[in-house]
Structure 1
C-alpha cells in the first residue's frame, strides 16, 4: 500500500505492508493515505468494532490526530444535532445517525476528520458526508452507490478504506523508536458487561462499555463523559488526569448548552456556511469572543443573539444528569470525582488501585455517585 508521505509532508514513507503476509486489515478503495490517515483509520476501526462487539449496536467514531473527537452508538438524533445542517432526523438510517451523534460531541474538532463505522456505509451516510468537511472513512463495507458518492468528495481525493472484520492482529505488537525495537503483548481483554459487575442500569452499562472502547484508542491520560450512547466529552493526552477531567467536562458542558433554546434560536444569514454556523454556536458559548469575532458574529446573524448569562447557563447545566464518567487509569485524588459531579456524573468507572482509592470511594458515596472498579487499565500511546 503506497503512502503519500509520513507523519509530516517532508518525511518520505515506505509502502505499508501487512505483518501477516497476505492478511491486509484494510484496503484502499479510493484516494491515497498518509501515515496519519492510516494511524487514524486503524485505531478508529478497532474502536468501533469493539464498541459494537461490547454493545451489539452500530458504532461510529470521528477521529483526529490519532484520538477520537467523538464516538457514539446508533440512537435517536435530537433536533439540536440536525438543525445546523438542515437535516430531517427521520431521513437517517443507523449508520448516518451513529455518525451524526459522534460528530456532534465536538463538531469543531471533527472538522476534517477520519470517519469510522462498525457496519457497511449506506448511501444516506455517503450523501450526508458529501456536505461535511471530512478527509476519509473506514468501514467493513459499502452499500451500492456509497463509494461512487464518496469518491466525488475533495475532487476525487477523498480517502475510502474498507476494513476486513476477519483479520485479527498478531498476539505481539512491535514499534521502533530511535533504533530500538519495542515489543509487547497486544491487549486482547474483551470489553464485556462482566467488567462492570452488574452495578449499572442498562443505559449506563452501554455508555460505560462504549467509554471503555473509546479510551482504549485515545491517547493517555484520557477520560470521557457519556450520555445516552454518546461520548459527549473526551479528554485526551494530558499529563494531569484532573486536567483531562476538566477539559472533557468543558466539552460536555458545551455539548449540553448547544441544546439551550437561546443557542438553537441563533438566526444566521443564508450565506453563512453550515460548519461556520456550528463553530459560531460554540464560540458564542465559549463567552470570550475577540473584538474581531464579535463583529463577524454580529454580521453573520439576522438578529442580535440573546444574552446567555451565568445564571441562565448554571440553571441549564443543572438539568444535565445521568452522565457516566470513565477513566483509562486509576483516579489518584477525589478532585476528579468533584469535577465529574459538576458535569452530571451519576456513575464513575475506573480501574481502581490508587493509594487514595478509599478517598475516591468516599467522595463518590458522599455525592451519590455509583462507583465501578474494573481492574482494567487502558493506557494508549
Structure 2
C-alpha cells in the first residue's frame, strides 16, 4: 500500500506491506492514507474490536495522533450530545450512539479524528459522519449505500478502510528504529473479569467492573504513560503519553471536569447565533467554562452568542463538580504515589483498577480507604509505545 507520505509530508517515500500478503488485517477502499492514518486505523480497530468482544456491545473510538481522544460502548445519548449533533436521542441506533459518546468525551480534540467502529457501518452512522470533521474510518464492513455516502466526503479523500474481523496477528511483532530491528512477543492476555478479582479495598459495583474493563481495553492501545476516567460505558477523560503519571491523572481529570461542566445549566443555556459552526460552538463552550477569555476572545464570544451569558462563577463550578460521582479510573502502569488517588477523587472517582506492585502500593491502598474508593489490583501492565 503506497501512503500519501510518512509521519511528515517531507518524508515522501512511504509504503506499507502486510506481513502476510494473502491476508492483510485491513483493506483500503477509498482514499490514500498517511503513515499516521494507518497507525490510527490499526490501533483504533484493535481497541474497538477488543472492547466489543470483551463487553459484548458495539464499541467506537475517536483517534488522534495514535491515541484515543475518546472511546465508548453503545448506550444512552444524553441531551447535550444529541443537541450538538442534531440527533434524536430516543431513536439513535446502537453503533451511532457508541461513536457519539466516544466523540463527546473530548470534542475539541476529536476535531479531524480517525473513526473506528466494531460493527458494520450503517446508513445512519454514515450520514452522521458526513456532517462532522473527520479524516477516515475503519470498520469490519459497510452496509449497502454507505460507501456512496462516504465517497462524497472531502471530495473522495475521506479514508475508508475495511478490517478483517477474523484476522489473527502473528505471535511476534517487529519494528525498525534507526537501523535496529526490535522484536517482541505479542501481548495476548485476555481482558476478563478475573483481572478485577483482587479487590484490595471496598467492593466493585457491577457497572464499575464493566467500565474498568473498557478502560483496560482503551489503555492497551493508548500511548504510555496513560490513565483514563470512565462512566456508564464511555471515557470522560484520557491522559496519554506523559512522562509523569500524575500529570496524566491531572490532565485527564481536567477533561473530565470540562465534560461534566458542559452539562451545567448555564453552559447548556448558551444560545449561538445562526451560522456559528458546530466546532466553534464546542470551542466557545469550553472557553466559557475555562473562564479566562482574553479581551479579543470576549468580543468574539459576545458576537457568537445571543444575549449576555455572564460568567460561570467559581462557586457555581465547584458546586456542580461535587455532583459528579460513580466515575472509574484505570492506569496502564502501577500508581507510584498516592497523589494519583488524591487527584482522581476530585473528579468523582469511586473505583480504581491498577496493576499494583509499586514500592508505595501500601500508600495507594491507604489513600483509597481514606477516600472510600474501591481498589482492584490487576497485576497486568499495559504499556503501549
What pairs with 1:77-226 in structure 2 (closer than 5 Å)?
Answer: 77-197=77-197, 199-226=203-230
* 3-state SS of paired residue (1:187): coil
* 3-state SS of paired residue (1:330): coil
Q: Does 1:270 align with 2:270?
A: no
Please identify, of 42-51 and 91-100, the stretch whose mean Cα deviation from structure 2 is larger.
91-100
Please identify, of 36-45 and 284-293, the stretch whose mean Cα deviation from structure 2 is larger.
284-293
Taking structure 2 as the reference length, what is the TM-score of the superposition?
0.97
Deviation per CA, 1:14-34, whole angstroms, max 9, x where unpaired? Answer: 431111231110101111111
Q: Which residue of 2 aligns with 1:299?
A: 303
Q: Does 1:354 align with 2:354?
A: no
Determine if contact 2:288/2:312 at 8 Å carries over to the other structure. no
Q: Which residue of 1 aligns with 2:6?
A: 6
Determine if contact 2:61/2:102 at 8 Å carries over to the other structure. yes
Determine if contact 1:13/1:35 at 8 Å carries over to the other structure. no
* 3-state SS of paired residue (2:90): helix
- For residues 194 and 151 of structure 2, the distance between their equivalents in structure 1, rounded to whole angstroms, comes to 42
- For residues 305 and 86 of structure 1, the distance between their equivalents in structure 2, rounded to whole angstroms, comes to 23
Stretches of 4+ aligned residues off by more than 6 angstroms: none
Q: Which residue of 2 aligns with 1:247?
A: 251
- For residues 252 and 373 of structure 2, the distance between their equivalents in structure 1, rounded to whole angstroms, comes to 18
Determine if contact 1:49/1:118 at 8 Å carries over to the other structure. yes
Q: Which residue of 1 aligns with 2:49?
A: 49
Deviation at 1:153, TM superposition (A): 0.4
Deviation at 1:143, TM superposition (A): 1.1
Determine if contact 1:262/1:306 at 8 Å carries over to the other structure. no
* 3-state SS of paired residue (1:137): strand
- Segments of structure 1 that go 5 or more residues without pairing to the other structure are none
* 3-state SS of paired residue (2:46): helix
* 3-state SS of paired residue (1:349): strand
Cα RMSD (Å): 1.0
- For residues 374 and 205 of structure 1, the distance between their equivalents in structure 2, rounded to whole angstroms, comes to 12
Determine if contact 1:70/1:105 at 8 Å carries over to the other structure. yes
Q: Which residue of 2 aligns with 1:237?
A: 241
- For residues 300 and 168 of structure 2, the distance between their equivalents in structure 1, rounded to whole angstroms, comes to 50
Determine if contact 1:62/1:70 at 8 Å carries over to the other structure. yes
* 3-state SS of paired residue (1:320): coil
- Segments of structure 2 that go 5 or more residues without pairing to the other structure are none
Deviation at 1:368, TM superposition (A): 0.4
The partner residue of 1:260 within 252, 264, 273 is 264
Determine if contact 1:348/1:371 at 8 Å carries over to the other structure. yes
Determine if contact 2:4/2:14 at 8 Å carries over to the other structure. no
* 3-state SS of paired residue (1:313): helix
Determine if contact 2:291/2:311 at 8 Å carries over to the other structure. no
Q: Which residue of 2 aligns with 1:20?
A: 20
Determine if contact 2:14/2:35 at 8 Å carries over to the other structure. no
Deviation per CA, 1:238-278, whole angstroms, max 9, x where unpaired? Answer: 00000000000000000000001100100100110111111
Judged with a 3 Å threshold, the aligned counterparts in structure 2 of structure 1 residues 306 and 82 are, in CA distance, closer, same or farther, namely farther
Deviation per CA, 1:113-157, whole angstroms, max 9, x where unpaired? Answer: 000001111100000011100000000011111111111100111
Deviation per CA, 1:311-347, whole angstroms, max 9, x where unpaired? Answer: 1011110000000000000000000000000000000
Deviation per CA, 1:273-298, whole angstroms, max 9, x where unpaired? Answer: 11111111111111222221111111
- For residues 139 and 75 of structure 1, the distance between their equivalents in structure 2, rounded to whole angstroms, comes to 19
Determine if contact 1:114/1:137 at 8 Å carries over to the other structure. yes
Taking structure 1 as the reference length, what is the TM-score of the superposition?
0.98
